[in-house]
Amino acid sequence: MAITTDHLVGAAVGVGVAAVGFYLYKKNQDRIDDFLRAHGLDIPVNENKPLAKMNVEELATLKEHIEDMIAEREQAAAAPAEAPVKA
């Protein structure tokens, strides 16, 4: 089965629709993410968003993420110190 112009037109239309959808999502990302979170989907917090514009839930999620990272780094730093020394 050969590729026809219908296949190429369909692929081009698909790419165009995907690009428009992505543009609209990025333009309205905060509202869409808030809507999805309100309906039970676990959408990660956009960490590039200014802290002053984040709501309480987003700030709490970011705080938990930072605390987890701090705990992991403290464990990694403590692990070599706890290793027994072989003589």
Cα separations (Å) of 64 from 45, 68, 71? Answer: 11, 6, 11
Q: What is the pLDDT of residue 85?
A: 61
The string of pLDDT tens digits covering residues 49-73 is 788 888 888 888 889 999 999 999 9
Tell whether pTM > 0.75.
Answer: no
Q: Give the domain ranges of the chain.
A: 44-80
Q: What is the pLDDT of residue 30?
A: 84
Query: What span, in angstroms and rounded, lies between the C-alpha atoms of 87 and 81?
Result: 16
**Could you identify the residue written with the tokens 């020394």?**
85
Q: What is the pLDDT of residue 78?
A: 85
Query: What span, in angstroms and rounded, lies between the C-alpha atoms of 27 and 14?
Result: 20
The string of pLDDT tens digits covering residues 22-42 is 999 999 988 998 899 889 888
